Chain A
Amino acid sequence: TQLLEQSPQFLSIQEGENLTVYCNSSSVFSSLQWYRQEPGEGPVLLVTVVTGGEVKKLKRLTFQFGDARKDSSLHITAAQPGDTGLYLCAGYLTGSGNTGKLIFGQGTTLQVKP
């Protein structure tokens, strides 16, 4: 059972379209991070959201943390071919028994066609 459910797992769109990737869980996270991974490389952090309801913008990317800190979304406006890649959400679980554990979603493979 995946603790962090990411959807969709695959997305192929045309340049200029908008898209949203979702990351959902029944568990509460102290914070949630979004990473982007290129082929042959390790993931690179895009953003960290910490406060329930928090919204962060990074150029055409908008990240939101759910009020209950159980879910998050990534919205891309006017997608470009350079946005192509694997997007991963990852959350730090709360509780002393979970200290140090960072849980990843399955990832969303995004392809933006010119």
Chain B
Amino acid sequence: EAQVTQNPRYLITVTGKKLTVTCSQNMNHEYMSWYRQDPGLGLRQIYYSMNVEVTDKGDVPEGYKVSRKEKRNFPLILESPSPNQTSLYFCASSLYRIKNRSLSGANVLTFGAGSRLTVL
């Protein structure tokens, strides 16, 4: 089954304790992205990657790191989590089509089921 798998689904941690949320897709997609979802703010892009070894900042990258060493994996790293990073996190992937210098609207994002993180 084609899917995006995130782990863990739920995590409660304490301020400053490094953590990694893993994301893996089995669709051979070039494009992968991380979002956080907060009430009243919708989904905000943290980081994205258009291919292996290529990562770029989204709108809210502060406090996060990512890596793309393999096509299928795109882990999200919180080196020193803080309470304002308490949120619902989504990983997503898609094929990658460029049209007129913009990611083509034909790129359909497949989302993972989400990871709910609480930082105390």
The interface residues of chain A lying within 8 Å CB-to-CB of B112 are 42
Which of B4, B33, B105 is close to A50, meaning CB atoms less than 8 Å apart?
B105
How many residues from B make CB contacts under 8 Å with A?
33
A44 and B44 contact, CB distance less than 8 A:
no
A101 and B45 contact, CB distance less than 8 A:
yes
The interface residues of chain B lying within 8 Å CB-to-CB of A35 are 109
Q: Which of B35-43, B70-78, B79-87 contacts A (4 or more CB under 8 A)?
A: B35-43
A30 and B105 contact, CB distance less than 8 A:
yes
10 shortest interchain CB distances as A-B pairs: A31-B105, A42-B111, A30-B102, A104-B43, A106-B42, A104-B42, A50-B105, A48-B105, A96-B101, A107-B42
How many residues from A make CB contacts under 8 Å with B?
35
Residue B19 lies at the interface, judged by CB distance under 8 Å to chain A: no
B44 to chain A, nearest CB (A): 7
A9 to chain B, nearest CB (A): 7
Of residues 30 through 51 on chain A, the ones whose CB sits less than 8 Å from some CB of chain B are 30-33, 35, 40-45, 48-50
Q: Which of chain A's residues has its CB closest to B114's CB?
A: A42
The interface residues of chain A lying within 8 Å CB-to-CB of B44 are 104
Q: List 25 A-B contacts (CB under 8 A).
A: A35-B109, A41-B111, A41-B113, A41-B114, A42-B114, A43-B43, A48-B105, A48-B106, A50-B106, A90-B43, A94-B101, A94-B102, A96-B101, A98-B102, A99-B103, A100-B56, A101-B48, A101-B103, A102-B33, A102-B45, A102-B109, A104-B44, A104-B45, A106-B41, A106-B42
